[in-house]
Amino acid sequence: MGEQHSVKFPQEVIDEYAALGVDLPALFSAGDLGNRMGVEIVEASAERVVGTMPVEGNTQPYGLLHGGASAVLAETLGSVGSMLHGGSKKLAVGVDLNCTHHRGARSGLVTGVATPVHRGRSTATYEIVITDEQDKRVCTARLTCLLRDVGPNGSAG
């Protein structure tokens, strides 16, 4: 659960990171938290990031998908889009996340789709729509990331 399968990246992005010796699927993964929650990124480009997450194991005491779980999925997808937009010379750091929860989900997978609202030089904002298996909207989120220059040792400059 949560392992990266064949994420679809644009070839030019794969080539850019390969030239730097970077493992792109690992870099654009859901991270430790996302892995524990079963987040899987299935498609990734600066124009559209798609990921899934199981409801099971991510519920609150009433048996519904936890709002915080939806926030994790949303921030993961929006961050990946922001990182792809920023390119290999930028790090994306989330600075604002808001989520509106429309309906509960009790089972199955939810799917999030992140699309850009704004892609600038220093910030990127993505809207993330999370739906259930019946394609009903569970959550709408918006994430803004600051795009920071990568320092000489690969950290935020």
* Catalytic site positions: 75
Contact (Cβ atoms closer than 8 angstroms) between residue 54 and residue 12: no
- Separation CA 55–CA 68 (nearest Å): 12
The Cα-based distances of 70 to 16, 35, 58, 91, 105 in angstroms read 31, 14, 9, 23, 11
- Separation CA 23–CA 26 (nearest Å): 6
CA angle 3, 127, 104 (to 5 degrees): 70
Contact (Cβ atoms closer than 8 angstroms) between residue 63 and residue 102: no
Q: Which residues pair with 148 in a beta bridge?
A: 91
